[in-house]
Amino acid sequence: MNGILRVKNVTQVFESGSGPRRDRVTVLKDIDFEVREGEFVSIIGPSGCGKSTLLKIIAGLITPTEGSVEVPSAAAPGSLPIGFVFQESVLLPWKTALGNALFPFEVMGKDTKAREPGVRDLFRLAGLSGFENYYPKQLSGGMRQRVSIVRSLSYDPALLLMDEPFGAIDAITRDSLNDILLDMWRETKKTILFVTHDIAEAVYLSDRVIVLGTKPGRIIEIAMVDLDRPRNEDTKLDPRFYGLVKKLRERLK
């Protein structure tokens, strides 16, 4: 398998307290998997299984206790390898939606004007055309999260990491956000690693689903999702869809 992301035997131990009474908690144990270019992979697991920690290790925010992570290099010279979408939109409230989406270029010291057309295309893809000059406070939670996705894709990262991006959003809005995300994925051909605790969401979106067990967090199953694309409401009626959801749900019990 030709993976552009390689996670090799990652183990993460957190220590709390100090001295002889210090606790050592193994959050992740021997996590080992690869993600191919252009693949959409989800990680699911109960809360406390360390899935967010795993994503932060891959993003380079945490150095793993053991093991290593090989992330792809930046797509374009001077760009950044990783895009990250948080559970909250993490927008800057004094900047417009467009200003927020261009913010990475501001930090990189690049000409934001030159990047505007490309970012406007992403706004169109996200169904946000016409909202470029709105401030975050004027947008709904779902729209803010879409701006956050546009921001993470603006600099064309080689890998997009998403940490329960729709976890705080109501079920109805989440369905349409999932479809928008799939559209954006198809258009931009990104490699996406998506963390969620929603089994149906993981199956609906992904090519593969990695199931983490808890205490310590470890891979208990990697399931191929054998469903046709593009996916839509009909996908959810496919026996293979709810068969897989049922199987994964039992696996997580």
Partner 1 sequence: MKRRDLWIRFLSFLAAAAAVAGWHFYVTLGKVPAFILPGPEAVARQLISMVRDGSLLFHMGITSAGIVTGFLIGSVLGFVLGYFLAKSRVLEAALFPYLIAVQATPKVTLIPLFVIWFGLGLASKLLLVVLSAFFPVLLNTVIGFRSVPREYYELMRILNATERQMLYKVKLPLSLPILMAGLKVAMVQAVIGTIVAEWVSGKSGLGYLLVYGSTQFDSRLLLAAIFATTLVGLFFFWIIEIIESRALFWHESKIILEEGL
In order of 50, 52, 111, 117, the CA distances from 55 in angstroms are: 9, 5, 30, 30
What end-to-end distance do the CA atoms of the chain give, in Å? Answer: 30
Site for partner 1 contains 69 (CB under 8 A): no
135: contact with partner 1 by CB under 8 A: yes
Chain centre distance of CA 153? 11
Asked if residue 251 binds partner 1 (CB under 8 A), the reply is no
What is the number of other CB atoms lying within 10 angstroms of the CB of residue 18? 7
Question: Residue 200, interface with partner 1 (CB under 8 A)?
Answer: no
Q: Which parts of 124-249 are beta strand (E)?
A: 159-163, 191-196, 208-213, 218-224
| 94 contacts partner 1 (rule: CB under 8 A) | yes
- Of 139 and 244, nearer to partner 1 (C-beta) is 139
Q: Smallest gap, in angstroms, from Cβ of residue 172 to partner 1?
A: 25
* DSSP assigned state of 8: E
Whichever of 193 and 252 has its CB closer to partner 1, that residue is: 193
C-alpha–C-alpha distance, residues 249 and 52, integer Å: 20
Select from 8, 37, 67, 86 the one that contacts partner 1 (CB under 8 A). Answer: 86
Among 84, 166, 185, 194, binds partner 1 (CB under 8 A): 84
Q: Is 56 in the site for partner 1 (CB under 8 A)?
A: yes
Binding-site size, partner 1 (CB under 8 A): 21
Question: Does 104 participate in binding partner 1 (rule CB under 8 A)?
Answer: yes
Q: What does the angle CA 248 – CA 252 – CA 253 come to, to the nearest 5 degrees?
A: 120
Side-chain-side CA neighbours of residue 33 (13 Å) = 23
Query: 110 or 208, CB closer to partner 1?
Result: 110
* Cα gap 7→24, rounded to integer Å: 23
Q: Per rule CB under 8 A, is residue 132 in the interface with partner 1?
A: no
The answer to whether residue 76 forms part of the interface with partner 1 (CB under 8 A) is no
State the DSSP H helix or E strand holding residue 9, giving kind and residue range, or none if neither: strand 3-16
By CB under 8 A, which span of 4-12, 86-94, 118-126, 224-232 interacts with partner 1?
86-94
Cβ at position 241, least distance to partner 1 in Å = 33
What residues make contact with partner 1 under the rule CB under 8 A?
A: 56, 59-61, 80, 82-84, 86, 88, 90, 92-94, 103-104, 106-108, 135, 137
